Amino acid sequence: MRYFTLVASALALASAVQAHALGSLARVSVVDRETGAELPTYYARGQYWVAGNPGARYAIEIRNGGAGRLLAVTSVDGVNVLSGDTAGFDQDGYVFDPGQSYQITGWRKSNAEVAAFTFTDARDSYAGRTGRAANVGVIGVALFREQPPAVSRSAPEPPMTAAPAIGAAADRALAGSALAAAPAALNAPVPAPAPAPAARLGTGHGEREYSYVVDTEFHRMQPTPNEVIRIRYDSLENLVAMGIIRRPRPVPRTPDAFPGSEQRHFVPDPPG
């Protein structure tokens, strides 16, 4: 199994509970690259949801807040973002150094290039165009802790990672299945999408962009993930129609008995 490290500058309503980043081992969020803002996350129906803007480029931002390296096997629409294979836990992923933050911006095409993630009609998504539309609309990140290096009393082992000279590192690696505490729940299939009034959003195969990676090694502490994060996504209109997001009710305007007359204003008090 080959391992690759991305080199980048270290940055980057049923129950309408809003958040941004998710996860405990690492913080995962979806970023609108047009605005640079993290998309609000809504928790409803036992799942996390974000509203994507059709046509916009987006990134999956992962931030390792722990003291050890982490492997993040990442999928979009049920497809591994590095290899293009139908996603599985035992596949390639990104490795993050302690404290590192990195934005995964597209489908990897080579060690130096990706095809940008874009929100698009599900029929035009990469998964849809490759005959795998069943899981369109979900982002997944499976996180693995690293196995500690073996202790040698004779000579110290060489370092396992050829760390890049600049900033953040992220790698390709294998993945596993679920939290040790609840493997069955984490291995459960993604629920079928709720009915929506308009075409669902998927992730397209956008324009080529520069994104450099280098090789590294990573040995998993266990064959199954220590944490799995799933984020569903669709258009704002569809999420509103499904009841995931509730629009605020407009406040009715109070009728004015003299709408054509100017009101007098006086000097207000200063703050405090």
* 93 has pLDDT over 80: yes
Least confident of 57-61, 180-184, 238-242: 180-184
pLDDT of residue 162: 30
- How many other CB atoms sit within 10 Å of the CB of residue 149? 12
Rounded CA gap, 235 and 158, in Å? 49
pLDDT of residue 63: 96
Residue type, 45: R
* 262 band by pLDDT with thresholds 50, 70 and 90: confident
Q: How far is CA 34 from the centre of its chain?
A: 16
pLDDT of residue 250: 77
DSSP string, the chain: ---EEEEE------S-EEES-B-SSEEEEEEETTTTEEPPEEEETTEEEEEE-TT-BEEEEEEE-SSS-EEEEEEETTEETTT-SBP-TTS--EEE-TT-EEEE-EEEEETTEEEEEEEEEGGGSHHHHTT-GGGTTEEEEEEEEBPPPPP-SSSPPPPS----SSSEEEE--------TT-HHHHTSPPPPPPP-SSPPEEEEEEEEEE-EEEE----BSSSS-SEEEEEEEEEHHHHHHTTSS-PPPPPPPPP-S-TTSPPP--PPPPP-
Domain boundaries in the chain?
A: 4-241
* 144 has pLDDT over 90: yes
pLDDT of residue 252: 82
